[in-house]
């Protein structure tokens, strides 16, 4: 099983600042990496797939990048609606595995 490790567990950011979230895979997942945003009481929302492709309707302030087994989600200028929990998902191998999540909170 591929283990996905997200860091940090919690990120405290002021509105308008940049947020950088990391996700590391225990082995290669190629570019088969997605990022999700989840707000309390809601289903997750797909932000990024293929490590760097924004999903339909996702604002340009969200971007994804990859370097080997290290993946990064960057939110260039945090808006109030961006405070949420973010998960990565690898879909290269079975079983599919999620990271444990990063909570982005207001500083």
Partner 1 sequence: EVQLVESGGGLVKPGGSLRLSCAASGFTFSSYSMNWVRQAPGKGLEWVSSISSSGKYIYYGDSVKGRFTISRDNAKNSVFLQMNSLRAEDTAVYYCTRDLGRDISCYDYWGLGTLVTVSS
Write out the residues near partner 1 by the rule CB under 8 A. 1, 32, 34, 36, 38, 43-46, 49-50, 55-56, 87, 89, 91, 94-101
Closest distance of CB 102 from partner 1, Å: 10
Copy the structure tokens of residue 38: 């989840």
- Give the count of alpha carbons within 13 A of 57, CB side only: 2
- The residue among 1 and 17 lying less far from partner 1, judged by its C-beta, is 1
- Residue 76 Cβ, how far from partner 1 at the closest point, in Å? 23
> Do the Cβ atoms of 82 and 75 come closer than 8 Å?
yes
SS3 call for 91 = coil
Residue with Cβ nearer partner 1 (61 or 96): 96
Instruction: Decide: residue 30, CB within 10 A, 0-12 exposed, 13-18 middle, 19+ buried.
Output: middle
Residue closer to partner 1 (CB basis): 13 or 92: 92
């Amino acid at each position: 099983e591929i283990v996905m490790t997200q860091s940090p567990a919690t990120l405290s950011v002021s509105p308008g600042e940049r947020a950088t979230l990391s996700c590391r895979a225990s082995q290669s997942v190629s570019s088969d990496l997605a990022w999700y945003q989840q707000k309390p009481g809601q289903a997750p929302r797909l932000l990024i797939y293929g490590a760097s492709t924004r999903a339909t309707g996702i604002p340009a302030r969200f971007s994804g990048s990859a370097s080997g087994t290290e993946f990064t989600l960057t939110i260039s200028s945090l808006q109030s609606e961006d405070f949420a929990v973010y998960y990565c998902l690898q879909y290269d191998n079975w079983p599919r595995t999620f990271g444990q999540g990063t909570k982005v909170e207001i500083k």
